[in-house]
Every structure is written in C-alpha cells, then in structure tokens.
Amino acid sequence: MLLKNKNAVIYGAGGSIGGAVARAFASEGAKVFLSGRTMESLKKVAEDITASGGQSETEIVDALDEKSVNDYVDTVGKKAERIDISFNAIGIEDTQGSPLADMSLEDFIRPIKLAMQTQFLTAKAVSKIMMKQGAGVIMSITASPAGKAYSLVGGFGPACSALEGFSRNLASELGPFGIRVVNIRSAGSPDSRPFVDALGQETDLSKTFIKKMEDDTMLKKLPPMVEIASVAVFLASDMASAMTGTTANVTCGTTMD
C-alpha cells in the first residue's frame, strides 16, 4: 500500500473530489481525517471507507475560519501524533456564465478571496506540525482555466492561477524542512456532482457545454474522479518524493504546461 501508516487531513471531504481522494487515500492504507461543513455528506464518505476496510474520522470544520482550522489541526496532530498529508478541496463559491463586463465586483472577487483564504489558513496550520516532523505533503487542486484563457469563468480562472502561484511559493519556503507542496490541475470530471446535476437537467445547454469541454482536450474526453484520485495518491506517496513546487496536469490535454 502506497500510503500505509500515513495520516491525511482532508478539507471538503464530503464533496465529489474530496470524497474520491479520501476513499483513494484510505484504500492505500492512510487513516483519513474527514472535515467539512455538513456531517451527513462526511458520514457517507466515512461509511464507504469503513465498508472497504479503511480508517477514518469525521469532524465539522470551517476551513475559512482561522480558529476552527487551527483547533482542528492541533487536535488531529495530538491524536494521530503526526500529519503526513493535507488536502484542501473545499468549494470557492464561484459565479460563472456571466461576462466580466457585467459581473459585480463581489462575484468576481469571491472565489479568489475564498481560495486564497482557505489555502493559506490550512497550509499555515499544518506546516508548523510538518516542520517539526521534517516531512509532509500539502496538496491542492485547480482546473484548466489556470493554464488556458476561457471566457465567462468569472473569478474562477484567476483564483486557480493564484492558487498555483501560492503553491509554488509555499514549496520554495517549506522545501528545506522536507515538506512537499503539490497541486493537481483537472479539466473537470464528468462523474462529479456538478456535472451529474447538470446532465440530470437534460438541457441542450448543459450537453453542449460538456461536449465543448471534451473537444477542448487532446484526448477528447474528461478525466473521471478515479483518475484524479489516483494521481493524488501518487503525489502523496514516497514514489513522488522528488516532486514539489509543481502542478500535475490531469486535464486530458486541455493545457500543456
């Protein structure tokens, strides 16, 4: 098992990507600490993990609140004695589909502010523990607009770009302490909740939009969540011990950098 005896903290673990990564981490031997804002969704992920023979614990945590994050990381750190992996996949409340010229400042700034706020708080909290350990992996996730210009994505594209820049800078600072900082860039997963909900509406617009996203990739498909989760496992494992300050491209060829 690639993550045997590892402890992983996951924010937004009740969501599609967070849940998929949590299940993948657990299947590779990690004990996963699941956090989010809704206990019902967290328990569903925990039940899946338990049914597969994995280990998990759940906790309500506001990943945008400094005290909530600090208290949680401190509690997990004392209970588990070490934190090996931190993955933040919370939603950033982005507004898309509207031209920038028509968008309010509030709608544009929100995803940028939330992305930077939560990633900064969670990375700062866990880095103190990882620095004492002399090891650890801090992981985040972005999307294709970080590497390619798209219209009508509002502040989501700038938020993704800012997060990738933050990840690189953080890696530079934490590298001397044995801490790796990596990011995953996805093109969006057709089996994730937003896509499933859109397809469930059976509208021509949703089908056209998803078909356009597929056509934008070199492979003419979108990456399912299991592929993103598999990459997350690899990046968190010792097999990727030489990788830091970088973004793993899981866009099926939407972007090339």
pLDDT, averaged per 10 consecutive residues of the chain (257 residues), comes to 97 96 98 97 98 98 98 98 98 92 97 98 98 98 94 95 98 98 92 69 66 89 95 98 98 86
Cα distances (angstroms) measured from residue 15 to each of 88, 148, 244? 11, 25, 25
Which helix (DSSP H) or strand (DSSP E) does residue 3 occupy?
none
pLDDT at 203: 60
C-alpha distance from residue 31 to each of 4, 22, 80, 83, 93 (Å): 8, 9, 9, 10, 29
Per the CB < 8 A criterion, the answer to whether 238 and 201 are in contact is no
- Neighbouring CB atoms inside 10 A of 66's CB total 14
Those residues whose C-beta lies under 8 Å from the C-beta of residue 183, and which sit 6 or more positions away, are 139, 140, 141, 142, 163, 164, 167, 246, 247, 248
Residue 203 per-residue DSSP state: -
Compute the distance between CA of residue 191 and CA of residue 229 in angstroms, rounded to an integer. 13
Max intra-chain CA distance, the chain: 54
Give the pTM: 0.94
Put residue 56 in one of left, alpha, beta given phi > 0 → left and psi -120 to 50 → alpha: beta
The domain 7-189+222-250 is placed in CATH, from the list 3.40.50.300, 3.30.300.30, 3.90.1640.30, 3.40.50.720, at 3.40.50.720
Count the alpha carbons within 13 Å of 48 in the hemisphere toward its beta carbon: 18
User: How far is it, in rounded angstroms, from Cα 125 to Cα 26?
Assistant: 23
* Confidence at residue 206, expressed as pLDDT on a 0 to 100 scale: 63
Q: What is the pLDDT of residue 188?
A: 82
C-alpha 129/C-alpha 52 separation (Å) is: 29
Contacts of 160 (CB under 8 A, 6+ apart): 115, 142, 143, 145, 146, 185
- Distance, CA of 257 to CA of 255 (rounded, Å): 6
Query: What one-character DSSP code corresponds to residue 240?
Result: G
Backbone angles phi, psi at 58, to 5 degrees: -120, 150
Of 83, 31, 87, 88, the C-alpha closest to 54 is 31
- Under 8 Å CB-to-CB from 164, ≥6 apart: which residues? 142, 146, 183, 185, 247
User: What does R_g of the chain's alpha carbons equal in angstroms?
Assistant: 18
**pLDDT of res. 172:** 98
